[in-house]
Amino acid sequence: MTGNISEQPAFKGIMKRQAALYDMQHDASLKDVMTYQSPSTRDSVGMSFLQPKTKEDLVNRRAMVQHWARTNNGLMGGCPDYMNTVLMAFASSADYLYEKNNRFPENLRSLFEYARENDLSMTHTFIDPQVNRTQRYYENRKEPIAARIIDRNEEGIIVRGARLLATHGGITDEIFVISSGGVSDKGKGFSFSVPSNSKGLKFIRKRIIR
């Protein structure tokens, strides 16, 4: 596939629909429903990033999510508010990571704030490729199939391999990569977010034939 993904027939419609959701946040009549004041910049940011501390906060979050869902009759799988909520919940629980080995709570909070202030759309991946469905499967090869840490340098970890991607792959700003299996295999003990247009990153679209 070549050219702008926004012009590809398979993705053009969903990208326009997602853009329309963001446009609602700039509608003056919906401002109080769709946005709230950022605690750090005082700018208006998406309500789905709100860290609830009261019943009223939960009600406000619900109203925003319902408004987005009703615009597409609930048929848009993985609206941006889904991953916004996931990232918000992780950041709200960051205190549990302090003083634990190989944990970086400040990085998690920083990612959340960056996503909130820039209103990023995100997808996620936390499943290894299903190349072998036996109960126990271990790779023994130089080139990994499933993503794993292969090296480290002064900038951090180097990861190589594939992951199964959730909905909205390729049409979001970033991918939140969540570790699976890091307890038993240190090579799979990682978590990070990467821009969707990162050099060397490839999306392989699966075509479903019925």
* Orientation of helix 9-24 relative to helix 55-71, angle to 10°: 140
Residue 99 lies in a domain: yes
Q: Is 156 exposed, middle or buried (0-12, 13-18, 19+ CB in 10 A)?
A: exposed
Residue 91 lies in a domain: yes
Q: pLDDT by residue (tens digit) across 126-167?
A: 888 777 666 565 566 667 778 888 888 888 888 888 888 777
Distance CA(55)–CA(105), nearest Å, equals 26
Structural domain that includes position 157: 5-195
Residue, of 32 and 7, whose pLDDT is higher: 32
User: What's the number of domains the chain is made of?
Assistant: 1
Distance CA(126)–CA(109), nearest Å, equals 20
Return the top range by mean pLDDT from 16-25, 187-196, 198-207. Answer: 16-25
Domain holding 101: CATH number? 1.10.3140.10
Residue 202 lies in a domain: no
Residue 104 lies in a domain: yes
Residue 134 lies in a domain: yes
Return the top range by mean pLDDT from 54-63, 80-89, 90-99. Answer: 54-63
Residue 201 lies in a domain: no
Residue 20 lies in a domain: yes
Residue 169 lies in a domain: yes
